[in-house]
Structure 1
């Protein structure tokens, strides 16, 4: 079997047997195509060995100059494919066996918004949808009917992300039937097709989601996605990123706002308000609590800043 044939069969296996998401399939396709170009599509899979993989690692770092996260993703994809080939008895043993391909990732703190940035972002989203003052059911319904569709979608996206900490892919994949307005619960299908439930925490967010659902039903075209574009199609992750970035620009924030920043902000706020880290882990859909623990570093940073401010106040009293 050639490398090109193996990659094609593996992608079919991922789509049919593993039922991977379109996003994961797209990433696998890109990563495998890159390795094919490097090793040669006609190369026999049994000829892929540790020296070839080491050369590929060097190529990714030294020629492509990719970041550690990008290299780690490409190597992880290859590991999964060769493990599948081994289990399917196409090869006797994976070339990754006893290959030290561990890649240490730099520890980066999540980028979350400050309280002032959250206020300004929300204010811009509300203004864009034509809502002034406190959000009520009447105001939300009026805005849903009169505001531009994208403006109201942006408002709902911002509020739901800040309230729930969803990933943008989960928000885009949310179906109408997943939203239980009576129980204020949204069922989410996250990474690895794992289901979890998140909650709409207050009347304002619930009113916005209710109004959106009530007004958009007739516009929906041949799909079951909750969030839509102005033409009635499902809102993609790219579309939602654009709406949130534009809302950040309208709020005149000094940095570019992304959906993941809103997820980080939601997680940080929950921990700072005393929510148990295990509950935050469940809400965010983290498989390992170590992933959630990165946010405790952020709250420690907030604590340090508060202590420094308090110390400065004490010094002022000595003068």
Structure 2
């Protein structure tokens, strides 16, 4: 944006340029751009889109905060997100010299969030969810150890279930693999759905997923479980022999997990599948993909994995973010001791 000597741009015009900057120059995700658009439209609705950006001062910001919290009754997390968007917007205006100084400069707007521990599943709930995912395929709980030596191999069991010839059975296999991968790696659902075949490397102990997380930071998620590695390999074979890739799919980097029509599995589809599994498992609360991420982190720490390793697996920028799961583990310990009558 060129510096204007005569008149500062309006909030509406500046917001459009800011969103273009975020899309083109910063390459933000579609999800983030949609959130920024909603937040900026809400602010324009309050102050007026024709208002010059240099007319927005501390009074308007404080009034808007009160409007969001008291009149709109938004939760603190939603208020914090909208204010964070405005901070980024005015910081950009300042850098573009459309403003001499941001109205947020030295402005104390503290939004206290209630302390909430991540909601994960207990081990018994996770077992029930996994059982609900494998039940339609008639897989027993020992499917990871299945081999020709100790009974029907995993390939034979999946062939018997029709995974290599019936789209419906293959779709149920997709659900099972999605649940197992989310629990084994703690991936975000968007990270899972954007994986392609090219993101699978072979490590010394098994497959390793190359994951692109927030801020385009890349990390590696190993799959040392031989059973899960076999399931992943057989899934790809069934997919390639049964499902025609959609026209939108990248022929060089086909999506790892696919829907029935050959396109990549979507986060919305994963959420819908988990909702059905929750009902099938008769769990008392709905399960979301992010709950599986929390569950993975908590169970890994309870199993003794080092905090720094869990941080790397989840892709947290700071170990302080990962440390919250130690509180969850402590709470689980207290509940378990209470049930056992330990004093």
TM-score of the superposed pair, with normalisation by structure 2: 0.86
Check if 1:203 corresponds to 2:226.
yes
1:254-301 deviation digits (Å, cap 9, x = unpaired): 110111111111001110111111111111111111111111111111
Deviations 1:225-282 (A, max 9, x none): 3222212222221111111111111111111011111111100111011111111111
State the match for 2:5 in structure 1.
none
What secondary structure is seen at the aligned counterpart in 2 of 1:148? helix
How much has 1:206 moved relative to structure 2?
1.4
Q: Per-residue deviation at 1:195?
A: 0.5
Please report the RMSD computed on the Cα atoms of aligned residues, expressed in angstroms: 1.7
Q: Which of 180-189 and 63-72 deviates more? A: 180-189
Q: 3-state DSSP class of the match of 2:209?
A: strand
Which of residues 260, 273, 289 is equivalent to 2:290?
260
1:138 aligns with 2:155: yes
CA distance in 2, matches of 1:205, 1:250: 22
Whole-angstrom CA distance in 2 between matches of 1:35 and 1:211: 51
Q: From 253, 258, 265, give the equivalent of 1:235.
A: 265
Distance 2:186 2:25 in 1: 30
1:275 aligns to 2:305 (yes or no): yes
Greater percentage in helix: 1
After superposition, the Cα gap between the structure-2 partners of 1:140 and 1:235, relative to the gap in structure 1 and judged at 3 Å, is farther
| Post-superposition offset of 1:111 | 1.0
TM-score (norm 1): 0.93
1:191 corresponding residue in structure 2:
214
> How many angstroms does 1:169 deviate by?
1.4
Task: Judge conservation of contact 1:268–1:295 (CA < 8 Å) in 2.
Answer: yes
- How many residues get paired? 313
Greater displacement, 172-181 / 51-60: 172-181
Aligned equivalent of 2:74: 66
Equivalent residue number for residue 193 of structure 2: 172
Structure 2 matches for 1:95-110, cutoff 5 A?
Answer: 95-110=103-118
CA distance in 2, matches of 1:120, 1:86: 53
8 Å CA contact retained: 1:140, 1:207: no
Structure 1 unmatched ranges of 5 or more: 315-319
For the residue of structure 2 that corresponds to 1:109, the secondary structure is: coil
